[in-house]
Amino acid sequence: MAATTDDTQEETDAPAAPPARRRGTGRIAAAVSVFGELLITAGLVLGLFVVYSLWWTNVIADRAADKQGDKVRDAWAHPAKDTGPGALDTKNGIGFLHVPAMKNGEVLVEKGTSTEVLNDGVAGYYTDPVKAALPTTGKKGNFTLAAHRDGHGAKFHNIDKLKVGDPIVFETKDKWYVYKVYDILDETSKYNVKVISQIPKESGKKKAGHYITLTTCTPVYTSRYRYVVWGELVRVDKVDSKRTLPKELR
C-alpha cells in the first residue's frame, strides 16, 4: 500500500505538459511582430528623409550659393574688358537681394525659377510665364522673384515676417535699388500668374511703375499655395568706393 501511495504522489508532483499552441495564434503574433518592425524601420527612414530635406539640403545649397556669390563679387572687383557700368548678367548671378525682416542674409539672384536653379539656395527671377523686368534697364515693370521656403537654402522661409513699409534692397555692381513693401497676399493659387504681371493689379496698382514681387510656397512645408509680397521702388543709390550699405541695411 505504501508503495502504491508513493507512486501516486510522484505522478501528482510531476510537471504538467504545456498546452498545445494554436497554429493560427502563433502565426498572427509573428505577423504582428514583423509588421511592428516594419513600422519602426519606416519611421526611421521617414525621419532621416525629413532631416535630409529640411537640414542637409540647406547645408548643400548654402555652400553652393556662397561659392557662386563669391564668383559674382570677384567678377565685380575684376571686371572683364567687355563689361562696363551697368553690366548685370553673369553666368553665376546678377546681384544680391537683402531683406532685413527675413533675417536671411544676402541672397544671390540668378536667372530662372526652375527647380535646378532654386535648389542651389538662390532666388531666381521669372522668365516664364511672365518675364521679369530687370531694374537695371531703367524701364518700368515688375522685378519678379521666387525662392524656396523650406529646404534647399529656404531663402524665403521667413517671408511671413515682412510687413507693409519694410525695405527690400537689390544690390548690383553699381547701384542699390531700394524698395518698400506696400501690399501682401498671404495665400493664392499657384496657377495665379496675374500676381507677377508687369502691372500687379491684384496689389491695387493700375499704372506702370517700378515694382518688385517676391513669391514662394505656402503653408510652410507644403507647395499647395503661393505667398506674395509686393514692393515699389523708392530710390536708387549709387555704390561708392567703400560699398557703403544704404541706411535700410545698417
Give the active site residues. Answer: 148, 217
CB atoms near residue 134 (< 10 Å): 19
**Helix, strand, coil fractions of the chain, as percent rounded to 5:** 35, 25, 40
Report CA-CA distances (Å) from 168 to 132, 154, 221.
17, 17, 24
* Chain position carrying cell 533675417: 103
Sign of CA dihedral 229, 234, 237, 242: negative
CB-count burial class (<10 Å; 0-12, 13-18, 19+) for 14:
exposed
Compute the distance between CA of residue 242 and CA of residue 245 in angstroms, rounded to an integer.
Answer: 9
Compute the distance between CA of residue 179 and CA of residue 126 in angstroms, rounded to an integer.
Answer: 18
Question: In degrees, to the nearest 5, what angle opens at C-alpha 71 toward C-alphas 66 and 72?
Answer: 95
Tell me the residue type at 91.
K
